Structure 1
Amino acid sequence: MDSEIKIVANRYEILSLIGQGGMADVYQARDTILNRVVAIKILRDSMSEDPMTLVRFQREASAASRLSHPNVVDIYDVGEYKGMHYIVMEYIRGRTLKQMIKRRGSIDLHESLNIMIQLTSAIKDAHSHNIIHRDIKPQNVLVKDDGTVKITDFGIAIANDNVQLTMNNAVMGSAHYLAPETAQGKEATPQVDIYSLGIVFYELLTGSVPFQGHTPTEIAVKHLREPMPFVRDYNPEIPQSVENIILKATAKNPADRYENAGLMLYDLEHCLDPEYMNMQRLTFDDRPIANVDVSHGHVEVEYDDRPVSKPKKQRNWATILTISICAIIIAVILFLMAWVTGLVRFSGMLGYETMPDVTEMKVADAEEKLEASDFTHYKIKRKVSDSVKKGYVIETNYDAGDVVSTEDTVVLTVSKGPSYLIKDYTGLYLADVKQEFEDDDVNVKIKVKYKNASDTNPGVILKQSKLEAGDRIDPDAGETIQFTVSRYPTITIPEKIIGMDVTKAKKLLNDKGVAVVTEQVGSGSGEVLYSSPSVGSTYTQEGSDSVVTLYYD
C-alpha cells in the first residue's frame, strides 16, 4: 500500500500494520462512518497484476462473506480503491492458536475440546454452504481473550462449482496439516478439512504436529506413508474415545474418515460421556504405498492392490544391475545438486544449522543460544506485548527446528512491555490528564481545541477523539489524541444593543454565551437604554455568578 494513503475508500482510517502474509498486508483501521475498529486486508501492489493471486484474494472475500457464524471472522466490506484491492473484516483482539500452543505447549483436554467444538462447528457451517476451507491450521485461527475462536483466511477455499487454483493439481495449503489426497493433487472434498481438524486436535493435546520434516515434500510423504501417532502414547490420561476422534479424522483413506463435520462435532460433544469413555482403539486397513513420485511439482502415489505372484520368466540380471547402478548414480548426482544449491539442507553441514527455540527468553540468553548454534547475524526489533514480559523474546523470523543458513540474519522480536490502555478522559481537567500521561511515562501527542462553555469550568475535557477509551497503544509510539476543552466565553459588549428591543438584545448576548438579566427603568418603548458593564467593555462569562444587566425603557 502507498505509505502516503491514510484513508482507504474515503472511509477507513489506517491506524497501524498488524500482520503480513504472502500476498497481502493487514492493518488495524477505524471505520469513520460506523466509528468502530476493523481489520483491513490490502493486496500488495506487486500481487495485483497476477491473475491467480487476485482470484485467490477475491475468493477469500466471496467465501467468507457467504458465512455468518460466531466462529468465522465477519466480512464487512470488499472493494477496490485507487487500484488497491481490499477486504474489511472484524478486528479480533487476541492471538493466533499457533502462538498460544507455542507459548503453552500441550493444552488441557477440556480446553482443547472447547476449541475443537468451535472450529468444527464453523467448518460444518462452511460445508453446508458448499465451501471447503483447504487451509485449516492454528495460524489461521484467532483466539479472543474470552476463549472464543475465529477461523479466518479463506484464500484457497473452494466451492463445489469453482475451478482449482493450482497448476497441474499442485499442492496448496500447509504441509503439516495436509490430507494425503491433497498431496496427490486430487480434487478437494470436505474430508480434507476433516483431516486438518484431526491434525489440529492432535497438536492441541501434544503441543506439536505429528509429522516433522525439513521440506514440505518430506512432510507430505510422511502423511502418505507413516501411521498416525497415538495421542495416548503422549498422555495415557487422555480417554480412548478422544484418541479415536483423531484417528478417524486422520485416516489415510478418505472413505474411513467422518462422512461430514456434523458427525465429528457430535463425537467431540459426547466423547466424555460415560458410555463412550472405554471404547476400543480404532484401526483401519490402509493400503501400502508402492511408489512415491515427487518429480512433477506434486506428490504422486500408487497403491499396490495386486496379490504377490512368482515371476513367470528368467530375468536378465546383468541388465537389471546396470540399470540399478545408473539409477543410483543419477540419484546421487541429483541429491548432491540439491544439497549444494540448498534445496536439501542438513544441519551442521555446508553452513546450515537448526534454528534453536529462543522464544520467551531474555535477550542476552537468546543471543548466547543463537551464537552457540553458530548464528552470529542477528538483529533486534521491539514491539509491545501484553503476554510476554519486557526484555523477553516474543518471536523470531524463523521457526524453531528450521534448518537455516548461518549467513542469514535472524530477527529477534523483543517485548517492550505491555501496551497502554487509553481511558475515557471526558469530564477530567486537561492538566490532570497531561500529568497522568507524564506519571505513566507515556509518549502521547495532545492536540487541543477550545470551546466556549459558560456553564462549565475552564480546562475541562468535553470530548476526546483519535484515541478512544479501550484502545491499547505502544507507550513509546507518540500517537495523537485530541481533546475539546472548555473555556469561558469572552466578548466585547456591542454598542448596537443600545436602542435595540430588550428581548432581541438579550438573545444576541445569550447566543454569545453570556448570561443576561433585564431591569426596566422606564415605562416606554422597551428599548435598551444602557448596560452594566457598559457597551464597549470586555466581559468574560465566569460561570453563573456573573451576568450582564440590560436596563430598558
Structure 2
Amino acid sequence: MDCADVVEHEEMEFKAQCKEPNAEPIPGHRLLQLLGRGGFGEVWKCAAPGGLYKAIKFVHNASATVADELKAVQLVKAIRHPFLLFVESVEILDGELVIVMELADCSLHDVLTCYRAAGNAGIPRPQVLGFVRDAAEALDLMNFQHGLQHLDVKPRNLFVAGNQVKVADFGLVSSLSGKRGEGIPLSAVSPLYAAPEIFHGAISRDSDQYSLAIVFQELLTGALPFCGTNVRQLLLQHTTQEPDLNALAACDRPVVARALAKNPKNRYGSCAEFVRALTAS
C-alpha cells in the first residue's frame, strides 16, 4: 500500500467513524441514532448545543449528487414557514454535504404504517385532510412566492412535528424559471409520485399538486393510483393511463382525478384549491 492509498484508507476510516453513535462530525453535534439511510446518504438524530435535538443529513460524496443537492437546498433554505422543515446549516465536510435540520417526530409514512398495522386501510379522513392542508400551504408558498417546485412530495418526505405537518427533503427542489427538467435524472425522482411532465423532461407549476393528490389517496386508503413495479411501467402509467381511483369514496374521485390530469393546465389553480375541493366534496 503506497502513501496515497494509506491516506485514502485513513480518510475512509475517519468518515466511517463520523457515522457512529457519539461521534461529532460537527463540533457540538453528537450523533445519537440513525434515522434512515438511502441511496444518496443517511440521516441521524443528534444532540446539539443548548440541550437541543436536531437531524443531520449526510449526502454521499459523489460530486454530482453533492452539487445537485447543495444547489437545491440553497434555493429553499432562506424560506421561513411553519410547514417547512427548518434548515439550520449547510456545509461540505470532507467532500460530503452535511445538512443540519429541525428534528421532527415522524413521517407520514410512519403514521400510515401504524394505522395499517392496527388493521385500518388508511388514516381517518379528517386527519388526512389536515395533513395535506398543511403541506399544500407550504408547497403553494414555494410555488407562488418563490417560483419553486419540490418535485419529491411523498409520505416519507412529509413530517409530523407537534401537531403540524412539515415538508422536508429539498434535494430535488427546482426553479420554474427554466421550465425544463432535463437536470433531474429519473433515477433521482420517486416514480410512484412523479407527475407525467417529469417523465417527459419538464416541470410545471402544478407538478407538486399531482404528487400531493397521490399522497392523499395513499394516506386515506393505503392504495396508490398507479402500481407499476419499475420505472418503465410507472412512466407508461403516469403518462398514458388513467389512475385507479376505486379505493376512494365516489365524492373524492372527480376531485383527485382533476389533480391527476395529464395536462398540468387541467389541474387546480393551486394545491390549496385542490384541498378546498376535497373538503367540500
Q: Which bracket does the TM-score occupy, shorter chain normalised?
A: 0.7 to 0.9
2:271 matched to 1:261?
yes
| Aligned mate of 2:36, from 3, 12, 19 | 19
- Give 1:164 shift: 6.2
Structure scoring higher RCO (CA < 8 A, sep ≥ 6) equals: 2
Q: How many residues align?
A: 257
Could you state the TM-score of these two structures normalised by the residue count of structure 2? 0.82
Aligned-partner Cα distance in 2 for 1:227–1:7: 50
Kindly indicate whether the alpha-carbon contact (under 8 Å) linking 2:158 and 2:168 is maintained by their aligned counterparts in 1: yes
- Give 1:39 shift: 0.7
- Alignment root-mean-square deviation, CA: 2.3
Judging by fraction of residues, say which structure has more strand.
1
1:228 counterpart residue number = 243
Kindly indicate whether the alpha-carbon contact (under 8 Å) linking 1:176 and 1:220 is maintained by their aligned counterparts in 2: no
Where structure 2 has 5 or more consecutive residues not aligned to the other structure, the ranges are 1-13, 116-120
Residues 120-269 of structure 1 mapped to structure 2, 5 A cutoff: 120-127=136-143, 128-144=145-161, 146-161=162-177, 166=182, 170-171=185-186, 172-185=188-201, 187-230=202-245, 233-234=246-247, 236=249, 240=251, 242-268=252-278
Kindly indicate whether the alpha-carbon contact (under 8 Å) linking 1:158 and 1:164 is maintained by their aligned counterparts in 2: no
1:101 counterpart residue number = 112
Aligned-partner Cα distance in 1 for 2:199–2:46: 38
2:104 matched to 1:92?
yes
- Give 1:61 shift: 2.4
AA paired with 1:112? V
1:222-251 per-residue CA deviation (whole Å, 9 max, x = no partner) reads 112221233xx4354x6x2x3332121111
Kindly indicate whether the alpha-carbon contact (under 8 Å) linking 2:40 and 2:65 is maintained by their aligned counterparts in 1: yes
| Aligned mate of 1:2, from 6, 10, 15 | 15
Judging by fraction of residues, say which structure has more helix.
2
1:160-217 per-residue CA deviation (whole Å, 9 max, x = no partner) reads 34696746x74342111121121122x2112111111111111122211111122111
Which SS does the other structure have where 1:190 is aligned?
Answer: coil
AA paired with 1:244? P
Aligned-partner Cα distance in 2 for 1:235–1:258: 19
| Aligned mate of 2:77, from 40, 62, 65 | 65
1:30-55 per-residue CA deviation (whole Å, 9 max, x = no partner) reads 222x331111112224x2xx2x2122
Kindly indicate whether the alpha-carbon contact (under 8 Å) linking 1:132 and 1:157 is maintained by their aligned counterparts in 2: yes
Aligned-partner Cα distance in 2 for 1:102–1:220: 26
Residues 459-478 of structure 1 mapped to structure 2, 5 A cutoff: none
Where structure 1 has 5 or more consecutive residues not aligned to the other structure, the ranges are 278-553
**Residues 165 and 263 of structure 1: is their aligned pair in 2 closer, same or farther, counting only changes over 3 Å?**
closer
Which SS does the other structure have where 2:134 is aligned?
Answer: helix
2:86 counterpart residue number = 74
Residues 326-337 of structure 1 mapped to structure 2, 5 A cutoff: none
Aligned-partner Cα distance in 1 for 2:207–2:70: 22
Which SS does the other structure have where 2:206 is aligned?
Answer: helix
- Give 1:147 shift: 4.1
Give the fraction of aligned pairs with identical amino acids, expressed as a percent: 25
Q: Select the structure of larger CA radius of gyration.
A: 1
AA paired with 1:250? L
1:72-131 per-residue CA deviation (whole Å, 9 max, x = no partner) reads 11011111334442111001122x212322332322111111111011111011112111
**Residues 58 and 165 of structure 1: is their aligned pair in 2 closer, same or farther, counting only changes over 3 Å?**
farther
Which SS does the other structure have where 1:124 is aligned?
Answer: helix
AA paired with 2:237? K
Aligned-partner Cα distance in 2 for 1:80–1:179: 31
Aligned-partner Cα distance in 1 for 2:272–2:160: 22
Aligned-partner Cα distance in 2 for 1:170–1:17: 27
AA paired with 1:4? Q
- Give 1:265 shift: 4.2
Aligned-partner Cα distance in 2 for 1:263–1:200: 16
Aligned-partner Cα distance in 1 for 2:181–2:197: 16
